[in-house]
Structure 1
Amino acid sequence: MQKDAYTLILEAIDAGTYRPGDRLVESELAERFGVSRTPIREALQRLETQSMLSRDGRSLIVASLDHNQLAELYVVRAELEGLAARLAARHASPEETRVLREMVETDRMLLNDPSALSRANRRFHKLIHLASHNRYLVQQLDLVHRSMALLASTSLAAEGRTETALAEHDAIVRAIESRDEEAAQLALREHISKAFETRLKLDAGELRPR
């Protein structure tokens, strides 16, 4: 199925092709994605209404999050992700649980590649969302993760974070495997809290990117 202009631009932002502060130009986007300018214009308008883009004079740029927006986003993310883990512990199929375990084991081979690990991390969290078997929760988490694309870097890029993040993933999966709903919720909320702490330290210059 051919992707529409909105999806193409959103995926480019999520992949870091366009980063916070980058200017988006209709003609350049139309040429890059091989579509006409009309759907590009409509997609840009839609992304602006969703606060993914902001105005800089007459130009549209990829939005960035200030400290308060970042804090608000992580509060919501921790609650929703925690709920997803709780429901996954209740509803995940044996196949979903096995794939989550395989992801943790496979991701150990990516410890020296933060960008690959970041992509793997998104897949891991997405499977937990789906394993909750609650479509409304998945929709809300999709919105949260769309906003996460406005962060200039991943917290996994911080020195020493990859090893601890994988240990946290292991604890989350162990709780889901054990059908321990409370432990799964707490483990995922703690994981998000640690990621937020790491990002704050990165922003403050206390930690160095790898």
Structure 2
Amino acid sequence: MSADQFPPCPCHLPPQTKRGVERRLAFLESASQLFIEKGYDDVSLDDVVQHAGGSKATIYKYFGSKKGLFKAICDYRRDLFLQDLFQETSQFEYLELRTFLLQTLDNFYQHITQIDNRKFIRLLFEQVKYDPDLSEYIYQACPVKILAHVSQKLRYAHDNGLIFCENPDDAAKIYLGILWHIEWKIFMGVTLTENPSDIQNYILYSVDLFLKSLRNP
């Protein structure tokens, strides 16, 4: 019986001990690095065990299968991404909204241009081509959450008279499209040639232009 044919655990409960949490995290980090370096198909669960320690039985216990492990890695990296992306603020005056929009795009740029993150994004897009369920899951778990978060900020600012934005959902899509050309370069493996200072100036210009369109008439 191959690794992918191993019957999945009927319920993947989170580890109940500190050692279990550490072991699960070791599997996530090791497998993530191996997938990035070698590709999904060229990494076996034996490779993950050899790299991280532990046993395949523990992998099956926590993740059920190689596919379950990859999905858990997507969740883990998504949580790190969202943590990096958003900096919560308690007040939403106009200047603070502008700062939030600037910082969010800068955080987005810094995250997706890191070498390992770029490689994982390309790996992810390669995998979702063959797994529609994973594609839908990733879309709902990451892009939709980011859109909802930005939309919530814009709606708050609108409701408090700081901007005029009757459709914050669509406005959030426009805002997040500011870095579309960088994203596409990463998705397609094109070398990034932009100077970081030019990117910062572009983000500043784009956010100010975006907010100008939302001024209260």
Q: Compute the TM-score of the two structures, normalised by the length of structure 2.
A: 0.33
* Greater share of residues in strand: 1
RCO comparison, higher one (Cα < 8 Å, 6+): 1
Structure label with greater radius of gyration: 2
